[in-house]
């Protein structure tokens, strides 16, 4: 409820501060002494001291009515997001980031309802959905969620329960539940994600989202757009449940959804223009999550005579490998949309392989081959990701996103090309420790010159030689782009002075407190002291890279030569056979 106020807010009054009010949003949280005033269109907000505990009074029970809760939620939309243009900015942030890989909300329909809300009150479920769309776009700060974001998350979860208690269970509520469960899974909020994902499916069944046919959904929800939205929402809920189950490790009593006929939709029956642009990527995500479920069912479902079925495991791995192969083509933006599908495929394969390695007498040759293929596909995808990083080095926004994707889940990273993006990595991870390894410039340059002569032939020769090899064909581009970035940022490797320039460049981009300069002969001691860790008992690893790399490169060149020999031999056989057929036809 919006009213004019003649007094300052309680916080300003207690601290004897002037409070220039523009408007006051009164809602049930005012009972928590958190009235919201506006000064120059900014909220009067005072941080509570860390560690200060306060009793949170419960609102008057007679105030918990649907109209009051609806007005409270609409007030929260204004307080948290803002009015007019800010609502559209928040919606644009959602539809440009989350929507491409989770197209469950109609973009045109959402903007239409935002326009209507300028002249009519928002419904409670739509207000809650708007706040949740804003929540899921919130980013961590220094690897952690801000206190304001976690508080908003807790508030929205409480409103979900409140509306559920008032028997409000709509499509918008399903969207809200889905986004909250994805927020929980994405930020590792367990077991909340696991609990939410399971309860969301029951809420969807209660609203009829699991109808077995598109015709039934059309009759039930009245329009093609809402029918497709419900179909995709059901898919999204199922995907989230599978991922949350995998993430939580709670496999006891795992229940498969694969036999549910409601999951086998004819998704081509209804295709409104508003929601058809990313259907293929979303379908792949659903297929990948299905593989995760099959892997979980295979390894954890309790049956009277359960044993490791090698043929079933290999079938799941083969299907996952084939699905992953479909992601190789297309532009980088499309591959980014499919990255979640790739991750789920690899998770399904890892689940199968990690279980299989503990089973007695598996088909080791087949399993080893599957594991090797998985490693190759993962490596190929990672090499492509770094090439995308090198190509987009001049676009800061894309570059920072790709660097975060490439480093997510790692605790450390070393060598080229990562070190060439040191300023950006320091910006992404300001508390990261940097170890600068140096050596005598003369020795370094002699070693590097010898290594480059032995390993890297002419770029054109290398490109032609490695072209028929699926993973290695990216190596020439890799070398070319690394050289380009190196020359742009540090300079050409033309003399022993390069290592000195490189060391100065690192020191200029890293805070002194976060960096150590050392030489490898010093061993563990300086590293252990810098990282505040005990000195390991095992010897310091000393691999002679200059001796190993020529052997590796020779093996690659020999393998590529054999591949070319097979290709040319096959072409020769076909040409000879064709010549014989032609001569017979002429005769």
d(CA 381, CA 405): 12
CA atoms within 13 A on the CB side of 419: 15
- The token pair that represents 272 in the structure block: 């409104």
Q: Is the pTM of this model over 0.85?
A: no
Report the relative pairing of strands 434-437 and 515-518 from DSSP bridges: parallel
Strand partners, 144: 141
What's the confidence (pLDDT) of residue 24? 30
What's the confidence (pLDDT) of residue 448? 77
* Whether the predicted pLDDT of 177 surpasses 90: yes
Q: Measured in whole angstroms, how far is the alpha carbon of residue 363 from the centre of its chain?
A: 34
What's the confidence (pLDDT) of residue 284? 81
Residues of the chain above pLDDT 90, percent: 22
What's the confidence (pLDDT) of residue 151? 92
Say which DSSP state 518 is in. Answer: E
Strand partners, 43: 38
Three-state secondary-structure class, residue 338: coil
What's the confidence (pLDDT) of residue 506? 93
What's the confidence (pLDDT) of residue 51? 60
What's the confidence (pLDDT) of residue 544? 59
* Whether the predicted pLDDT of 105 surpasses 80: yes
What's the confidence (pLDDT) of residue 77? 92
Span 31-39, average pLDDT:
31
* Helix axis angle, 310-325 to 279-300, nearest 10°: 160
- The token pair that represents 443 in the structure block: 């020795």
* Whether the predicted pLDDT of 354 surpasses 60: yes
- The string of pLDDT tens digits covering residues 538-580 is 888 876 555 666 666 677 767 777 777 777 787 777 777 777 7
Ramachandran bin of 137, using left for φ above 0, alpha for ψ from -120 to 50, beta for the remaining angles: alpha
Least confident of 148-162, 398-412, 448-462: 448-462
Say which DSSP state 189 is in. Answer: -
The b/e string for 322-335 (b: 16+ C-beta within 10 A; e otherwise) is ebbeebeeeebeeb
Span 85-102, average pLDDT:
90
Cβ pair 387, 376 in contact under 8 A: no
What's the confidence (pLDDT) of residue 302? 54
What's the confidence (pLDDT) of residue 137? 93
- The string of pLDDT tens digits covering residues 247-284 is 877 655 455 554 443 443 433 333 333 333 344 678 88
Q: Measured in whole angstroms, how far is the alpha carbon of residue 499 from the centre of its chain?
A: 36
Q: Tokens 């059901």, residue?
A: 234
Report the relative pairing of strands 2-3 and 515-518 from DSSP bridges: unpaired
Say which DSSP state 50 is in. Answer: T
Domain ranges of the chain: 1-42
Three-state secondary-structure class, residue 303: coil
* Helix axis angle, 224-248 to 339-356, nearest 10°: 40
Least confident of 112-126, 280-294, 463-477: 463-477
d(CA 278, CA 290): 19
CA atoms within 13 A on the CB side of 362: 23
Average pLDDT, the chain: 76
Cβ pair 563, 468 in contact under 8 A: yes
- Three-state secondary structure string covering 455-480: HCCCHHHHHHHHCCCCCHHHHHHHHH
* Whether the predicted pLDDT of 178 surpasses 90: yes
More confident residue, 132 or 244: 132
Helix (H) or strand (E) holding 437: strand 434-437
Give the CA dihedral 34, 40, 42, 45, nearest 10 degrees.
-40
Residues of the chain above pLDDT 70, percent: 72
More confident residue, 443 or 179: 179
- The string of pLDDT tens digits covering residues 313-345 is 777 877 877 777 676 555 555 555 567 787 788
- The string of pLDDT tens digits covering residues 489-534 is 888 877 888 889 999 999 999 999 999 999 888 889 999 999 888 9
């Amino acid at each position: 409820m919006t009213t004019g106020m003649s007094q300052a807010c309680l916080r300003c009054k207690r601290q004897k501060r002037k409070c220039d009010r523009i408007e006051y949003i009164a809602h049930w949280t005012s009972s928590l002494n958190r009235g919201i005033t506006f000064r120059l269109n900014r909220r009067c907000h005072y941080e509570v001291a860390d560690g200060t505990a306060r009793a949170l009074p419960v609102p008057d029970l007679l105030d918990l009515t649907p109209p009051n809760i609806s007005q409270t939620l609409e007030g929260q939309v204004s307080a948290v997001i803002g009015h007019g243009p800010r609502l559209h900015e928040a919606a644009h942030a959602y539809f440009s980031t989350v929507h491409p890989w989770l197209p469950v909300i109609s973009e045109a329909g959402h903007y239409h309802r935002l326009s209507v809300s300028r002249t009519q009150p928002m419904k409670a479920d739509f207000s809650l959905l708007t706040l949740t769309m804003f929540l899921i776009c919130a980013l961590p700060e220094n690897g952690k969620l801000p206190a304001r974001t976690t508080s908003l998350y807790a508030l929205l979860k409480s409103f979900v329960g409140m509306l559920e208690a008032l028997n409000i269970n709509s499509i918008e509520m399903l969207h809200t539940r889905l986004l909250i469960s994805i927020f929980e899974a994405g930020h590792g909020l367990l077991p909340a994600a696991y609990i939410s994902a399971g309860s969301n499916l029951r809420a969807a069944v209660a609203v009829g989202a699991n109808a077995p046919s598109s015709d039934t959904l059309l009759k039930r929800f009245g329009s093609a757009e809402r029918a497709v939205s419900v179909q995709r929402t059901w898919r999204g809920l199922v995907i989230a449940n599978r991922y949350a189950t995998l993430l939580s490790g709670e496999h006891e009593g795992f229940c498969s959804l694969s036999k549910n006929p409601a999951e086998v939709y004819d998704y081509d029956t209804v295709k409104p223009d508003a929601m058809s642009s990313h259907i293929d990527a979303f379908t792949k995500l659903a297929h990948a999550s299905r593989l995760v479920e099959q892997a979980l069912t295979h390894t954890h479902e309790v049956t009277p005579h359960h044993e490791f079925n090698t043929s079933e495991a290999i079938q799941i791995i083969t299907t996952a490998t084939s699905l992953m192969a479909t992601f190789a083509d297309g532009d980088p933006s499309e591959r980014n949309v499919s990255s979640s599908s790739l991750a789920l495929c690899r998770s399904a394969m890892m689940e199968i392989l990690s279980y299989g390695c503990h089973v007695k007498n598996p088909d080791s040759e087949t399993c080893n081959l599957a594991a090797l293929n998985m490693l190759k596909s993962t490596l190929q995808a990672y090499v492509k990701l770094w090439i995308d990083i090198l190509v987009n080095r001049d676009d800061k926004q894309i570059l920072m996103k790709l660097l975060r994707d490439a480093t997510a889940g790692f605790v450390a990273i070393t060598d080229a090309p990562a070190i060439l993006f040191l300023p950006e990595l320091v910006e992404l991870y300001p508390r990261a420790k940097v170890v600068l390894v140096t050596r005598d410039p003369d020795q370094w340059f002699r070693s590097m010159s010898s290594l480059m002569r032995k390993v890297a032939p002419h770029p054109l020769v290398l490109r032609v030689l490695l072209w028929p090899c699926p993973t290695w064909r990216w190596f020439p581009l890799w070398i070319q782009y690394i050289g380009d970035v190196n020359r742009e940022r540090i300079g050409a490797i033309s003399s022993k002075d390069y290592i000195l320039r490189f060391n100065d460049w690192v020191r200029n981009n890293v805070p002194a407190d976060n960096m150590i300069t050392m030489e490898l002969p010093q061993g563990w001691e300086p590293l252990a002291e810098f990282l505040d860790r005990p000195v390991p008992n095992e010897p310091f690893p000393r691999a002679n890279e200059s001796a190993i790399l020529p052997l590796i490169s020779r093996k690659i060149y020999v393998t590529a030569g054999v591949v070319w020999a097979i290709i040319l031999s096959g072409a020769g056989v076909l040409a000879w056979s064709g010549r014989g057929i032609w001569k017979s036809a002429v005769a």
